């Protein structure tokens, strides 16, 4: 990510990012997206989609920025998210915004190669392959008093 003041010298002691944040490194890169929305999706239900997702460290390495751009027939879903780690709660989190007007805040649990995202109305599980070159995302939405399948996504690392 490019910054405005590249030559400014910093004299203050800058804190170090948490060691936990390094676990997010598995996401960093550019990923090819292939997926399918299910009947629970409010936009483009029962539709296949493709796209790109990118993840990169925000300067300072305290946060990771994720961006997505997905194509659903004539629809486009674009969004951005900021990943971080809450030292006090000892928990990862993600806040997202998209071109459909959605803002979501997820708490994240992780164990080895499995990441679980939970918000008030959506939840998802991401499972990385052993070589960390692919991952599968399965998402659900809370509708009509129950959790329903929302989408499934396969991401393959491009770089």
pLDDT at 12 (0 to 100): 74
Mean pLDDT for 20-46 is 94
Q: What percent of the chain has pLDDT above 70? A: 93
Q: What are the pLDDT digits (tens) for 58-107?
A: 999 999 999 999 998 888 999 999 999 999 999 999 999 999 999 999 99
Task: Return the closest-CA partner of residue 153 out of 20, 51, 18, 36.
Answer: 36
| Residues 11 and 68: beta-carbon distance below 8 Å | no
pTM of the model: 0.87
Does the structure show a pLDDT above 70 at 9? Answer: no
Other beta carbons less than 10 A from residue 59's beta carbon: 9
């Amino acid at each position: 990510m490019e910054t405005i003041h590249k030559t400014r010298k910093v004299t203050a002691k800058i804190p170090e990012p948490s060691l936990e944040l390094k676990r997010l490194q598995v996401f960093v890169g550019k990923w090819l997206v292939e997926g399918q929305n299910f009947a629970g999706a409010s936009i483009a239900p029962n539709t296949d989609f493709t796209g790109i997702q990118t993840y990169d460290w925000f300067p300072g390495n305290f946060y990771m920025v994720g961006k997505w751009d997905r194509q659903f027939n004539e629809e486009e879903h674009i969004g951005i998210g900021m990943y971080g780690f809450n030292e006090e709660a000892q928990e990862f989190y993600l806040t997202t915004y998209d071109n459909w007007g959605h803002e979501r805040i997820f708490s994240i649990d992780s164990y080895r190669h499995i990441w679980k995202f939970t918000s008030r109305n959506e939840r998802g599980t991401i499972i990385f392959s052993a070589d960390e070159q692919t991952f599968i995302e399965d998402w659900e939405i809370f509708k009509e008093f129950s959790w329903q399948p929302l989408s499934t996504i396969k991401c393959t690392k491009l770089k």
